[in-house]
């Protein structure tokens, strides 16, 4: 197959299924470790993968509030599933990372910064809502006065292969949040998987110059009108399948004026404070630090680990937790996500991926909560 | 690893026992070449005790002293208890300074009312020191300070020195008096009507427990001080001090980088709401 060595940005190509491994080879050739979807523990998770053999070919999932089931598909699609329990923040803001080490020296101690550099990583299979989540975390960790080196060092070298959605799950609501099911940017390459009359191929979109270099090494041919339309039709199918909706009008005002609302007590009575929602959420960024010392007392280190606003320790202040009731913790989480985020980062903190709904053991549904708060909207606008 | 997350080594130069629970640590950068950081009243540092942990502590020394930095805190947790055992020459890790400052520029040409409850005097001390160093820039200066008991009164010598000055009105009250106590008894808010200042041209700076600040704001507003000219120093759990860890959120605000000093009118809608 022939095509320009450097396909132009925004150009579209057809990559046949049988040539898909060329993408892995091109990425590996450039020194990227590929992180992508794979089946493990009865779920589709993100892990380091080597080839198309590791992809969840022929698998899909069923999702509802508090429910996730892996199911075989009738076809051989590689990306015929919805987002699972993992999100990409796992690699950009690792669940546990060392900040520095210290050792006792003479009468005092010395602190040594962490020097280990993160590996060069390519994400394969980033969904449009997840791309938005990465953009949002970019603002959190790199958009202010302080830049977070842990995040930035990983983000700067990141290569992103997005996969546009051809279906939606029971807890998806990206259409409401205007984050999907198709992305127009933020990726190096984007794929749309098409299966039609026995032909299995991918529409390949080139997003950046870096993406063009990789695309230049993959066997593909220019996409025709038909293939573009076929890809577009897949996206429209996803739009029609959205399992959830959320009315996003004035969410900020809604939550700020309803800090006292009977719904908080009702939801708190169901909430287990397990923090699943915050762990699964692709934008939740809260962390804590852990200082540890070895048994000799000679060496100490500090690690940064994921934390959750659902824990009692999170708001601990000499003598007790500021947010001691479950009600106040659930309220903090959703008010931050849907209201305070606008003040802090100029965007909603929710991308409509549905993870918090699926992975809540009590089936608490963020879209249902918004409806309930709206129903009893006490404050009203002044 | 960014510098903001990496503790710099400081040496304990002096450990001053203020009272049973409270102590002041005076620190200097370890190593001759190291320069201390410039700080402003209202800001805080993250202090690390080797092998124990790290906590935020407001800066309570003289901001004009570019070498020495002082921290007053109470031994109430694991880290502060370990800190109280530190001796001259011991090392601590310091990250900072972080956060914003008291509105000393805005207060120029106006009356200044400083209200403190308990350990809340510590973050206000740098502001007072600076105001007194540039005394001509301000009109009346009032310090209203409440402590639990006479033995809890902080910076006693300094307060006595200031009391002797004609250009600052220092009023100290205690909740529980002893026989020897000759001053006011009762909550600090009772001092507000007694002090002489022009409410329409006053900037107030308040720090203490949240309940104390709530009543302080009430008393100040009752005298006619506008909520836009009352400043509070807020406190929440802090881990990173640079807005990444999320712990110190107060509504839309990150106390660590948007505060800790807030104009009351900016947080009024949150203030007093429970468990925010």
Question: What secondary structure, in 3-state letters, does B234-268 show?
Answer: CCCCCCCCCCCCCCCEECCEEHHHHCCEEEHHHHC
* Residue A149 with chain B: CB contacts under 8 Å: 1-2, 5
On the 0-12 / 13-18 / 19+ scale of CB atoms within 10 A, A354 is: buried
Mean pLDDT, range A62-75, rounded to an integer: 97
Tokens of B196: 């002489």
Tokens of B117: 């409850």
CA distance A280 to A275: 9
pLDDT in the model for residue B34: 63
Domain chopping of chain A, boundaries = 12-240, 251-375
Which residue in A has a C-alpha nearest to residue B75's C-alpha?
A: A318
pLDDT in the model for residue B60: 96
* pLDDT score of A356 more than 70: yes
pLDDT bucket at A241, cuts 50 / 70 / 90: very high
CB-CB: which of A114, A260, A293 is closest to B1? A114
Mean pLDDT, range A258-272, rounded to an integer: 96
The CATH 3.40.50.80 domain(s) of chain B lie at: 111-233
**A326 neighbors A273 (Cβ within 8 angstroms):** yes
Verify cis geometry, omega within 30 degrees of 0, for the bond prior to B149. no
pLDDT in the model for residue B1: 44
Contact state of A309 with B246 under an 8 Å Cβ cutoff: yes
CA distance B98 to B56: 9
CA distance A277 to B1: 29
CA distance A354 to A170: 8
**pLDDT tens column, B173-187:** 999 998 899 899 999
CB-CB: which of A150, A286, A327 is closest to B247? A286
CA distance B76 to B159: 25
Tabulate helix, strand, coil % of chain A (nearest 5).
35, 25, 40
* Residue A99 with chain B: CB contacts under 8 Å: 1, 5-6
pLDDT in the model for residue A235: 96
**B195 neighbors B142 (Cβ within 8 angstroms):** yes
* Residue B76 with chain A: CB contacts under 8 Å: 318-319
Give backbone dihedrals phi and psi of A288, rounded to 5 degrees, phi first.
-130, 175
Contact state of B254 with A300 under an 8 Å Cβ cutoff: no
Choose from A116-120, A320-324, B18-22, B260-264 the range with maximum mean pLDDT. B260-264
Q: Which residues of A83-101 are buried (b: 16+ CB within 10 A; e: fewer)?
A: bbbbbbbbbbbbeebbbbe
CATH numeric code, B111-233 = 3.40.50.80
Any A CB within 8 A of B81 CB: no
Q: Largest alpha-carbon pair distance within chain B?
A: 56
CB-CB: which of A149, A256, A336 is closest to B249? A336
Give backbone dihedrals phi and psi of A60, rounded to 5 degrees, phi first.
-140, -175
Chain B closest-CA separation from residue A259 CA (Å)? 8
Chain A closest-CA separation from residue B251 CA (Å)? 6
* Residue B262 with chain A: CB contacts under 8 Å: none
Q: Is B156 helix (H, G, I), strand (E, B) or coil?
A: helix
**A240 neighbors A233 (Cβ within 8 angstroms):** no
Contact state of B273 with A259 under an 8 Å Cβ cutoff: yes
Contact state of B48 with A291 under an 8 Å Cβ cutoff: yes
* pLDDT score of B77 more than 60: yes
* pLDDT score of A132 more than 60: yes
A320-326 own/partner pairs: CB under 8 Å, 24+ apart: A322/B236, A322/B237, A322/B275, A322/B276, A323/B275, A324/B275, A325/A268, A325/B275, A326/A268, A326/A271, A326/A273
Contact state of B247 with A307 under an 8 Å Cβ cutoff: yes
Contact state of B48 with A332 under an 8 Å Cβ cutoff: no
Superfamily of domain B3-98: Translation factors (2.40.30.10)
CB-CB: which of A102, A289, A315 is closest to B50? A102
pLDDT in the model for residue B10: 94
Percent with pLDDT over 70 in chain A? 98
**What is the average pLDDT score of chain B?**
94
pLDDT bucket at A215, cuts 50 / 70 / 90: very high
Give backbone dihedrals phi and psi of A222, rounded to 5 degrees, phi first.
-55, 140
Mean pLDDT, range A320-331, rounded to an integer: 95
Contact state of A291 with B51 under an 8 Å Cβ cutoff: yes
pLDDT bucket at B2, cuts 50 / 70 / 90: low
CA distance A20 to A200: 10
Q: Report the length, in residues, of chain B.
A: 276
Q: Is B108 helix (H, G, I), strand (E, B) or coil?
A: coil
CB-CB: which of B50, B76, B245 is closest to A300? B50
Any A CB within 8 A of B56 CB: no
**A147 neighbors A41 (Cβ within 8 angstroms):** no
Tokens of B23: 């102590």
Percent with pLDDT over 90 in chain A? 92
**B172 neighbors B147 (Cβ within 8 angstroms):** yes
* Residue A100 with chain B: CB contacts under 8 Å: 1, 5-7
* pLDDT score of A380 more than 70: no
Contact state of B249 with A146 under an 8 Å Cβ cutoff: no
Which residue in B has a C-alpha nearest to residue A97's C-alpha?
A: B1
* pLDDT score of A325 more than 90: yes
Tokens of A314: 């999170």
* pLDDT score of B36 more than 70: no
Any A CB within 8 A of B75 CB: no
Q: Does residue A382 or residue A368 have the better pLDDT?
A: A368
* Residue B30 with chain A: CB contacts under 8 Å: 108
**pLDDT tens column, B135-171:** 999 999 999 999 999 999 999 999 999 999 999 999 9
Contact state of B246 with A286 under an 8 Å Cβ cutoff: yes
pLDDT in the model for residue B47: 97
CB-CB: which of B1, B53, B91 is closest to A100? B1
**A354 neighbors A260 (Cβ within 8 angstroms):** no
Any A CB within 8 A of B247 CB: yes
Contact state of A287 with B239 under an 8 Å Cβ cutoff: yes
Chain A closest-CA separation from residue B187 CA (Å)? 21
Chain A closest-CA separation from residue B244 CA (Å)? 7
CA distance B276 to B264: 16
Q: What is the dihedral of CA B263, B264, B268, B270, to 10 degrees?
A: 70
**pLDDT tens column, A270-306:** 999 999 999 999 999 999 999 999 999 899 999 999 9
CB-CB: which of A146, A259, A315 is closest to B243? A146
pLDDT in the model for residue B66: 83
**pLDDT tens column, B239-254:** 999 999 999 999 999 9
Q: Largest alpha-carbon pair distance within chain A?
A: 76
On the 0-12 / 13-18 / 19+ scale of CB atoms within 10 A, A229 is: exposed
**pLDDT tens column, B99-111:** 999 999 999 999 9
Q: Report the length, in residues, of chain A.
A: 382
- Per DSSP, the residues of A68-100 read EEEEE-SS--SS-S---S--THHHHS-SEEEEE
* Residue B260 with chain A: CB contacts under 8 Å: none
Any A CB within 8 A of B30 CB: yes
The CATH 2.40.30.10 domain(s) of chain B lie at: 3-98
pTM of the model: 0.94
Chain B closest-CA separation from residue A164 CA (Å)? 30
pLDDT in the model for residue A382: 42
* Residue B236 with chain A: CB contacts under 8 Å: 315, 317, 322
* pLDDT score of A40 more than 90: yes
Task: Select the residue from A297, A322, A325, A343 to test the B interface by mutation, using most B Cβ atoms within 10 A.
Answer: A322
Question: Cα B213 to the chain's mean position, in Å?
Answer: 13
pLDDT in the model for residue A6: 81
Contact state of A149 with B89 under an 8 Å Cβ cutoff: no
Contact state of B237 with A316 under an 8 Å Cβ cutoff: yes
pLDDT bucket at B32, cuts 50 / 70 / 90: low
CA distance A104 to A110: 7
CA distance B72 to B122: 6
Nearest to A333 by CA among A267, A242, A247, A249: A267
User: Using alpha carbons only, what angle is made at residue A277 by residues A256 and A351, rounded to the nearest 5 degrees?
Assistant: 65
pLDDT in the model for residue A116: 84
pLDDT bucket at A117, cuts 50 / 70 / 90: confident
pLDDT in the model for residue A32: 97
């Amino acid at each position: 197959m022939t095509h320009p060595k450097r396909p132009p940005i925004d150009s579209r190509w057809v990559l046949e299924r049988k040539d898909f491994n060329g993408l892995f080879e091109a990425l590996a050739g450039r020194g990227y470790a590929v992180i992508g979807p794979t089946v493990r523990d009865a779920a589709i998770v993100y892990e380091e993968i080597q080839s198309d053999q590791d992809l969840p070919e022929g698998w899909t999932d069923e999702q509802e509030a508090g429910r996730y089931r892996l199911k075989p598909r009738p076809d051989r699609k590689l990306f015929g599933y919805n987002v699972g329990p993992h999100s990409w923040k796992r690699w950009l803001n690792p669940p546990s990372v060392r900040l520095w080490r210290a050792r006792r020296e003479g009468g005092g101690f010395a602190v040594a910064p962490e020097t280990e550099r993160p590996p060069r990583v390519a994400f394969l299979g980033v969904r449009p809502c997840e791309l938005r989540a990465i953009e949002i975390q970019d603002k959190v960790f790199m958009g202010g006065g302080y830049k977070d080196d842990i995040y930035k060092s990983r983000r700067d070298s990141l290569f992103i292969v997005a996969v546009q959605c051809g279906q939606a799950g029971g807890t998806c609501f990206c259409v409401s949040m205007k984050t999907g099911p198709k992305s127009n940017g933020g990726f190096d390459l984007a794929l749309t998987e098409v299966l039609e009359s026995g032909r299995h191929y991918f529409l390949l979109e080139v997003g950046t110059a870096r993406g063009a270099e990789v695309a230049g090494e993959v066997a593909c041919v220019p996409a025709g009108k038909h293939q573009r339309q076929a890809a577009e039709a897949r996206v429209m199918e996803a739009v029609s399948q959205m399992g959830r909706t959320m009315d996003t009008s004035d969410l900020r005002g809604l939550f700020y004026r309803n800090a006292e609302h009977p719904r908080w007590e009702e939801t708190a009575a169901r909430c287990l404070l397990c923090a699943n929602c915050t762990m699964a959420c692709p934008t939740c960024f809260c962390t804590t630090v852990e200082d540890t010392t070895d048994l000799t007392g000679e060496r100490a280190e500090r690690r940064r680990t994921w934390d959750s606003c659902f824990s009692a320790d999170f708001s601990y202040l000499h003598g007790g937790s500021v947010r001691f009731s479950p009600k106040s913790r659930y309220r903090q989480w959703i008010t931050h996500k849907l209201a305070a985020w606008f003040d802090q980062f100029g965007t909603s903190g929710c991308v409509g991926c549905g993870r918090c709904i699926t992975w809540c053991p009590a089936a608490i549904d963020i879209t249902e909560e918004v409806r309930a708060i709206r129903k009893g909207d006490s404050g009203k606008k002044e | 690893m960014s510098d903001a997350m990496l503790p710099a080594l400081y040496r304990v130069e002096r450990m001053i026992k203020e009272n049973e629970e409270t102590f002041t640590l005076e620190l200097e950068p370890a190593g001759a070449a190291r320069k201390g950081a410039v700080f402003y009243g209202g800001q805080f540092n993250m202090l690390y005790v080797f092998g124990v942990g790290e906590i935020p502590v407001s800066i309570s020394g003289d901001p004009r002293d570019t070498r020495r930095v002082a921290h007053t805190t109470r031994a109430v947790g694991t880290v502060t208890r370990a800190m109280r055992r530190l001796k001259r020459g011991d090392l601590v890790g310091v990250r900072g300074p972080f956060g914003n400052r008291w509105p000393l520029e805005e207060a120029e040409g106006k009356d200044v009312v400083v209200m403190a409850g308990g350990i809340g005097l510590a973050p206000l001390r740098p502001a007072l020191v600076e105001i007194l160093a540039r005394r001509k820039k301000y009109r009346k200066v009032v310090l209203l300070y409440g402590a639990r008991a006479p033995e809890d009164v902080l910076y006693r010598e300094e307060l006595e020195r200031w009391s002797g000055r004609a250009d600052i009105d220092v009023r100290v009250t205690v909740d529980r008096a002893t026989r020897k106590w000759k001053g006011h008894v009762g909550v600090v808010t009772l001092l507000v009507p007694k002090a002489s200042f022009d409410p329409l041209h006053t900037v107030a700076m308040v720090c203490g427990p949240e309940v104390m600040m709530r009543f302080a704001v009430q008393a100040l507003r009752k005298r006619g001080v506008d909520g836009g000219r009352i400043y509070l120093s807020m406190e929440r759990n802090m881990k990173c001090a640079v807005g990444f860890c999320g712990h110190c959120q107060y509504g839309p605000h990150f106390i660590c980088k948007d505060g800790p000093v807030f104009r009351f009118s900016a947080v009024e809608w949150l203030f007093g709401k429970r468990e925010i």
